[in-house]
Structure formats: structure tokens, C-alpha cells
Structure 1
């Protein structure tokens, strides 16, 4: 249980869902974790359940001062920063692309796209001084195989995948690996928005489109992120890893 021993991670959107799963799994494997989320009480709960290896941080990932403070907290509390997980995400409800209001669109851009840029500004200089690091973004199968009803969300996740690959090439000489995860929809608070509504019938239809026959879980995504963050993946960069039960085949 020490695959991340001695490493420090910042995980955004870590008060619930995939981010909570990553925070707890990383800590199980020896990492110190900054549990960052706009939901301060949720971040406090997750950090409290982890214990001394974690610290909570209220952060708006679309705000540069908040992102800088989040990174500073990791260094002040734990002395370094090895892993940055851009997990916070936002979506519009499944439906007509022309009925997505401008405020919702702007939030999608800010959380799913701009936040990756701001995190890079904050963490790349730190990681370069340390001799390397790992940046992981939670993208989506929607960025690989867009489907009707989530047009602007799909586009934001396609951007995240291209940003991952671009950053990977540019940062490789600094020994900073950059990868992203492409989960299929899972048991998180965003599921109802992805499906339009959360009903047994909608879930059955969605499960039927996944060859392995179930939705993703936070542990599925956490285990994939754990591998990408660990030294076992030291030669892996620029990858958009599908964690989808075969959905994209």
C-alpha cells in the first residue's frame, strides 16, 4: 500500500464522486492529499475521513488566486507537489444545444477548460524545480465519441484531451507527464444531467450501451488515476485512457 509513498497530490472536485474516490485511494497508497473543492463542507468531510494525510481547501478552479492558494497550501503543509489532478467538472443538462444559456456555457468553459490552464501556470514551475511530476485531467468518453444532447460539454472535453496531448509533448523535457482519463458516466452527482433525467428506465438504457454492463464507479476511476500517477506509468504521457467498460468501441 505504498505506490504513492512520499508523493503529494492536489485533487480538485474532491468533495464527492470521482474526486473523492481518488483522494481516498491515493491516501491509501501513501500520498498526502489536498482535497480541493468549491464545496468547503464536503472537502472538510473527505479530508476528515482520510485523516492526517489530507487537508481540505475551498477553491474555485476557474479563479487564479484560488488555484495558486491551493498549490501553495500543498507546499506549505506537505513540502512539495508531485501530482495535480484536474478533476472538477461542469455540464449542461442533456438536451437541445441551442437551449443552453450563455451563463452555463461560460461556466463549462471556465471549469472544464480554463482551470487546466490555470493549474498548469501554478504547478509546472514547481514540478520543474523538483525534477518532474504528473498532471492528470478527468476528461470524458464524450470528448472521444460525442453524442447528441451534450454538445458543449462534449466540446469542452475534446479540448481537454487535445490540451493533455499538447502539454505532454511540451513538458516531456521537464519530466512532467500529462495524461487524462476518459470515464463513461458513473454514480456521481452529474449522472442525471448526462442522461437528462435519472430514472430506472434511463439507467437501463445507458447500461445496455456499455459492453461490460454497468456504470463506472469512483473506484474504477481512482484506480486508473492511481496507476497514471504512480512510477509504474513513468513512460506513459499524452494518453487519453478510456475507463468505460467498452463504451467507445
Structure 2
């Protein structure tokens, strides 16, 4: 087992840190990650000496000794500035991890009763590191636009699934091949989140989400009311019982679906 813990550094499963289950693991210290520096950096963890030796060689252009290359490697050396930043930040990483968990819980508390927002479920004995705070939202793109108009930046990870990226076009992947993945890519949205976000800032984000959803409910109710009025007008023009039934059959189910969306 080789673990990718880029989004989960610091997380635990049954009291055991992720990254310690397999023969090796890798993480990123990019600024958006739980433990981060001021640019690109990363680390490989292993207790296997042969793996450690090979990684050291590959990160130095494949050199086994000075100017002697046995492998095709890369320049993956971390510089001293990034290292110094990480050493300082690691000293209070556990504090920041606890803050992330506290702020995530506050988001959960404020969002749990909003039917248009779906929260991810945390399994028993799992402790996330909350690299991001991501939810599923109806009308995701409109919500994102609305929030940004009110000074709230959000992210989408990721808007285009991996199998639909242009680089893999030659593999003939098409829409519909991974329906769950594709559906999620149209619904997920990451809300503002970092260890030092204040509760009043979280409250502001949730307030604007609620405002957006209430506005959309009212617009839909207004549209449905107008539709029902139009149906009633047409039925009063003497179209006969058969015509009246046909008009209702064509329009009424859509109105019911709309009301169901409004009220969850």
C-alpha cells in the first residue's frame, strides 16, 4: 500500500495517523494543504530503506553520486526557505489541526438543517484534517456567483473530472462513463476555510447561503403561482373537460416537482 495523503496530513483512523498504514506515503506542502509552506514542496515517508534510497536518488536528477546518473530523475529538492517555514509551522501544527476541527464543527452546526446543502459524513473513529470544507449544493454555479458578489471566495475541486480532461481524450472517455463522479463535479463547492477563520466570518458565509436559497425559493414559488394562474385562465376559456384535463396533465406535475424542490 502506497498512500497519497496530500489532502489528509494529520488525519487519523482509529487513532492511527494516515500515512503510516502502507510501505510509503507522500504528501504536499502546497499553501492550500493542512501543513503548508510558501510555495511548492512535498515529502515522502517510509520505513523501507530501499525506497528511501531510491527517492533520494530520483529527487537529485537520478544521481547516485556527484555527476553520475543511473536513473532518469527530477529536481525535487526542497530549498532552505521552505524547510525553515515548515519547521516553524510544524511546531504548532497540532494546534492548527484542532482549530480546523473546531471551525468545521461550527460549519456543520449552522448548515445541517439546510435541505439544499449536503454535508459529508464522518465515519466513526475517523478524524479528518479538513484541508478544505466542501459541501454539495443545489444550483452550485449560481450560488458560487452570488457568494462572490458578496465578497466570499469559494473553490470547486474539481470542475472537470480527470477522465474528461483533454489530455486523456485519446482514451475515448465520454460523458456518462463515471456518472457519480460527473454529478459530484457539478455539485461540490468548497467554502472559505482555514484555521484562523473567525466564527463571525463563518456566520456571514452561512447567512449569504441562506439568503441565496430563500431568494431562489421565492422566485420559484412566484413562477409556479404564475403557471397555475395561466392554467386556470386557459381552463376558463371553455376548452371543455377533455382540454382542461390535458392542460392540467401537461403542467401540474411540473408545478408539484417545483414545490417539492422549494420545500425539500
TM-score bin, normalised by smaller chain:
under 0.3
TM-score by length of 1: 0.26
TM-score (normalised: structure 2): 0.25
Identify the structure with bigger relative contact order (alpha carbons < 8 Å, sequence gap 6+).
1
The structure whose Rg is larger is: 2
